[in-house]
């Protein structure tokens, strides 16, 4: 239970490429402030999610933007500088389904990077809060961490442990850390612009959060009292803006040689980051509109933008680039191809969400997140969906949508009326075998079969702490106990516990006295879907005795 002494809510947007935080006092809930001060620099709503470690990866030398852009100077001034390690995009190691994760130093645990980064973030948060409210204790702060939609509760467990080790919470303030999904936070932020787009009660809108690493989607309906109901299972994918950067590096590798680029990355990582952020992002990725008529070839002058790459280039690539004065031309088709893999995935994600609902159900689509500011991405989305969604809009401060929405959630958690459950849950029951419908291999010796009695279907809408119950009776007259085995699945209507894509969650055992009553001993079994866990209970309706247990929500990686 959250402490009654909470005075301030702080939301942390721990992103793949950039991170930031926002905060508000409970007494002034409309005054949500985004931090814009990082390492002495003003005006930046976020800083890079990056760390610069010493040779042993024990100590953090720099963090945020300085970790990327000051590394080369350190290397020139220190004998052992070539052994320094930059660690970035480490958040993606939380995604257990990602096959090729970002590279880390040998024997380095990504959780250490998360803890170290949160420690640095905590220092800035404490300094900021003390300027606003001198004497405020962290015990009086409710922290909200946002996570991608597709990542399961194991992500929250890891982040909670990292936040604990970073000093955000302790044994006595464990409840002062809550989670929300990134698209849910973005949807809450979009509530502030619903009136501007004439959305009324019971109107439905789609939020597409386009970040650096992930793109997350959620469909919500506006209810009375400014509450939100989730309409579909939220979705997401690894198709954020950094994957456009990766395509640029592939293009560059084809021009200078893959080996040359690899050596350059290894020996001058800071210069590589400058090339990406100060040349590619500023002069290529952000300005690109997709309009071929207005596009002019862009020159990448290696001597100007990346002179430390040149010594690594050899062979035919060197001869060709020398003839061209070390200039690489980026043509229209080159740049367009860099965007295509990510944009195609985003379009497929949007299409899939819209296909789950009746045509014209979605009245508006809101695009948020840093990648949403790409004019080419926005034009492609408009071209593809202008005939299916009446309004496609970009709320102000799209880069701060998640963190500000997360603060609003912390200030009023009742704003979420209901969520869509992404799994089917049911109980193993023994039924009469039907030779016309059931697989013969599953028939038991007593001519029965184990099936799943579904309590809640994947895709159903559930309110917080909503309970689903059903009455059961013992199979045999002399039965002295019932063991309720709980199964779950991504399938909407799984039939058998043994079929593919069905997993075992746990069990609850209840004693059954009064054997003389035979099978006439009803038991009410219930599943309650709380915020962080599933609570199972079984009540003997004869004795009124209640048995209970709890389970964590399934891991997304189980499937």
Identify the residue whose tokens are 């007494």: 27
How far apart are the C-alpha atoms of 455 and 526, rounded to whole Å? 9
Q: Identify the sign of the CA torsion 71, 74, 78, 79.
A: positive
Task: Report d(CA 124, CA 321) in Å as an integer.
Answer: 46
C-alpha dihedral over 514, 515, 521, 523, to 10 degrees?
Answer: 80
Residue 137 maps to which CATH number? 3.30.420.40
Of 384, 417, 450, the residue at which a domain comes to its end is 417
pLDDT in tens, 409-444: 999 988 988 888 888 999 999 999 999 999 999 999
Q: What is the mean pLDDT of the chain?
A: 90
Q: Is residue 267 part of a domain?
A: yes
The reply to whether 426 and 482 lie within a common domain is yes
How high is the pLDDT of residue 557? Answer: 39
556 pLDDT higher than 90: no
Q: Which is it for the CA torsion 44, 50, 55, 59, positive or negative?
A: positive
Q: What are 292-300's contacts with CB under 8 Å, separation 24+?
A: 292/332, 295/332, 295/335, 297/329, 297/330, 297/331, 297/332, 298/329, 298/330, 298/335, 299/327, 299/328, 299/329, 299/330, 300/252, 300/327, 300/328, 300/329, 300/330
Instruction: Note the pLDDT of residue 69.
Output: 73
Q: How confident is the model at residue 75 (pLDDT cuts 50, 70, 90)?
A: very low
For residue 395, tell me if it sits in a domain.
no
Q: How many residues does the chain have?
A: 559
Check residue 124 and give its pLDDT.
Answer: 96
The closest alpha carbon to 555, from 182, 154, 94, 234, belongs to 154
Non-local CB neighbours of 156 within 8 Å, separated by 6+ positions: 145, 147, 179, 532
Is 300 part of any domain?
A: yes
Query: How large is the average pLDDT for residues 321-325?
Result: 94
Residue 187 included in any domain: no
Rg of the chain (C-alpha set): 27
Residue entry with tokens 């699945």:
489
β-sheet bridge partners, residue 507: 485
- 461-462/327-330 β-pairing: unpaired
Residue 485 and residue 537 share a domain: yes
Strand, helix or coil at 139?
Answer: helix
Q: Of 298, 314, 338, which residue is a domain's last?
A: 338
Number of structural domains in the chain = 3
Please state, in angstroms and rounded to a whole number, the distance separating the CA atoms of residues 17 and 22: 17
8-14 and 141-147 beta bridge pairing? parallel
Look at 133-142, 453-462, 508-517, 549-558 and tell me which has the smallest mean pLDDT.
549-558
Confidence of residue 71 (pLDDT cuts 50, 70, 90): very low
Domain co-membership, 409 together with 426: no
For residues 325 and 435, state if they share a domain: no
Confidence check: pLDDT of 172 > 90: no
Query: How is 25-79 classified by DSSP, letter by letter?
Result: ETTSTT--EE--EETTEES-S-EE-EEEE-TTS-SEEEESHHHHHSHHHHHHH-T
What is the pLDDT averaged over residues 529-541? Answer: 87
Both 129 and 268 in a single domain?
no
Which H or E element spans position 410? helix 401-411
- How many CB atoms lie under 10 A from the CB of residue 335? 23
DSSP label at residue 268: -
Contact 415, 404 (CB under 8 A): no
CATH number at residue 471: 2.60.34.10
Phi, psi for residue 290 in degrees, rounded to 5: 90, -5
Residues 287 and 427 in one domain: no
Return the C-alpha torsion angle 289, 294, 299, 300, nearest 10: 0
Q: Are residues 74 and 102 in the same domain?
A: yes
Q: Does residue 224 lie within any of the structural domains?
A: no
CA 400 vs CA 60, 185, 242, 526: distances in Å: 27, 10, 18, 40
CA 385-404-274 angle, to 5 degrees, is 80
Give the residue from 458, 425, 439 showing the smallest Cα distance to 525: 425
Q: Contact 6/410 with Cβ under 8 angstroms?
A: no
pLDDT at residue 82, rounded to an integer = 55
Task: Report CA-CA distances (Å) from 13 to 7, 418, 505.
Answer: 20, 23, 31
Please identify, among 417, 443, 464, the residue that sits at the C-terminal boundary of a domain: 417
Same domain, 50 and 129: yes
Locate 388 and state its tokens.
Answer: 């299916």
pLDDT at residue 78 is higher than 60: no
> Mean pLDDT lowest for which of 28-37, 62-71, 125-134, 173-182?
62-71
Enclosing domain of residue 465: 421-558
| Main-chain dihedrals φ then ψ at residue 128, nearest 5 degrees | -65, -45
pLDDT band at 152 (very low <50, low <70, confident <90, very high): low
Name every residue whose Cβ is closer than 8 Å to that of residue 200 and which is 6 or more positions away in sequence. 222
Q: What is the average pLDDT across 468-484?
A: 94
Number of neighbours of residue 16 by Cβ within 10 angstroms: 23
Residue 558 pLDDT greater than 70, yes or no: no
Residue 295: both structure tokens together: 């596009």
- Token pair belonging to 296: 């002019």
Residue 236, number of CB atoms within 10 A of its CB: 22
- Distance set, CA 494 to CA 280, 427, 451, 489 (Å): 49, 11, 9, 7
Q: What percent of the chain has pLDDT over 90?
A: 71
CB burial class (10 A; 0-12, 13-18, 19+) of residue 244? buried
**Residues 258, 323 within the same domain:** yes
Residue 17 has pLDDT above 80, yes or no: yes
Question: How confident is the model at residue 542, as a pLDDT?
Answer: 92
Q: Is the pLDDT of residue 264 over 60?
A: yes
Domain membership flag for residue 358: no
Task: Please check whether residue 76 lies inside any domain of the structure.
Answer: yes
| Interval 198-252: pLDDT, tens | 999 999 999 999 998 889 999 999 999 989 999 998 888 989 999 999 999 999 9
In this predicted structure, what is the pLDDT of residue 205? 97
- If phi over 0 gives left and psi between -120 and 50 gives alpha, with beta otherwise, what is residue 397? left
> Edge-to-edge strand order for the sheet containing 85-88?
60-63, 50-53, 85-88
- 286 and 426 in a single domain? The answer is no
Say whether both 83 and 154 belong to one domain: yes
Mapped onto helix, strand or coil, the DSSP state of residue 489 is: strand
Is there a single domain that holds both residue 65 and residue 170? Answer: yes
CA distances for 100 relative to 92, 97, 260, 261, 482, angstroms: 10, 9, 22, 19, 45
Is 537 part of a structural domain of the chain? yes
The answer to whether 159 and 179 are in contact (CB under 8 A) is: yes
Average pLDDT over residues 289-311: 94
């Amino acid at each position: 239970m959250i402490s009654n002494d909470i005075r301030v809510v702080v939301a942390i947007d721990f992103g793949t490429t950039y991170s930031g935080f926002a905060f508000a006092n409970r007494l002034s809930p409309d005054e949500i402030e985004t931090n814009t001060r990082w390492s002495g620099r003003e005006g930046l709503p976020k800083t890079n999610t990056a760390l610069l470690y010493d040779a042993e990866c024990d100590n953090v030398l720099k963090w945020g933007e300085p970790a990327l852009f000051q590394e080369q100077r350190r290397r020139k001034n220190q004998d052992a500088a070539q052994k320094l390690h930059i660690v970035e995009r480490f958040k993606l190691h939380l995604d257990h389904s990602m096959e090729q994760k970002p590279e880390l130093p040998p024997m380095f645990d990504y959780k250490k990077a998360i803890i170290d980064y949160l420690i640095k973030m905590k220092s800035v948060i404490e300094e900021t809060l003390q300027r606003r409210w001198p004497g405020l204790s962290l015990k009086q702060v409710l922290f909200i961490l946002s996570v991608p939609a597709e990542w399961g509760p194991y992500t929250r467990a890891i982040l909670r442990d990292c936040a604990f080790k970073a000093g955000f919470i302790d044994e006595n303030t464990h409840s002062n850390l809550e989670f929300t999904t990134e698209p849910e936070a973005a949807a809450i932020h979009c509530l502030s612009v619903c009136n501007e787009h004439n959305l009324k009660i019971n109107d439905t809108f789609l939020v597409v959060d386009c970040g650096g690493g992930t793109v997350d989607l959620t469909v919500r309906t506006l209810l009375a009292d400014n509450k939100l109901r989730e309409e579909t299972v939220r979705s997401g994918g690894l198709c954020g803006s950094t994957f456009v950067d990766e395509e640029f590096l592939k293009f560059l590798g084809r021009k200078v040689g893959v080996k040359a680029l690899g050596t350059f990355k290894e020996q001058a990582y800071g210069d590589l980051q400058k090339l990406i952020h100060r040349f590619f992002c500023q002069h290529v990725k952000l300005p690109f509109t997709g309009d071929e008529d207005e596009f002019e070839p862009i020159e990448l002058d290696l001597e100007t933008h990346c002179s430390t790459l040149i010594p690594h280039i050899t062979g035919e690539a060197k001869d060709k680039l020398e003839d061209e004065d070390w200039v690489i031309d980026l043509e229209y088709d080159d740049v367009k191809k860099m965007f295509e893999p990510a944009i195609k995935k985003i379009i497929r994600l949007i299409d899939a969400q819209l296909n789950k609902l009746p045509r014209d159900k979605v009245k508006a689509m809101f695009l948020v997140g840093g990648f949403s500011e790409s004019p080419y991405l926005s034009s492609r989305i408009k071209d593809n969906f202008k005939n299916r969604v009446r309004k496609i809009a970009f709320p102000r401060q799209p880069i701060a949508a998640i963190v500000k929405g997360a603060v609003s959630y912390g200030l009023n958690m009742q704003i979420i009326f209901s969520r869509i459950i992404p799994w089917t849950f049911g109980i193993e029951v023994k039924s009469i075998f039907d030779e016309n419908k059931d697989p013969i291999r599953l028939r038991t010796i007593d001519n029965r079969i184990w099936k799943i009695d579904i309590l809640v279907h994947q895709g159903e809408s559930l309110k917080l702490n909503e309970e689903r119950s059903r009455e059961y009776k013992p199979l045999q007259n002399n039965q002295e106990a019932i063991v309720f085995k709980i199964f779950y699945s991504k399938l909407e209507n799984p039939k058998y516990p043994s079929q593919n894509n069905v997993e075992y969650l746990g069990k609850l055992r209840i004693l059954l006295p009064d054997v003389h009553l035979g099978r006439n001993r009803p038991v009410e079994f219930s599943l309650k879907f709380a915020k962080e866990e599933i609570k199972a209970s079984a009540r003997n309706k004869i004795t009124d005795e209640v048995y209970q247990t709890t389970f964590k929500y399934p891991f997304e990686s189980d499937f």
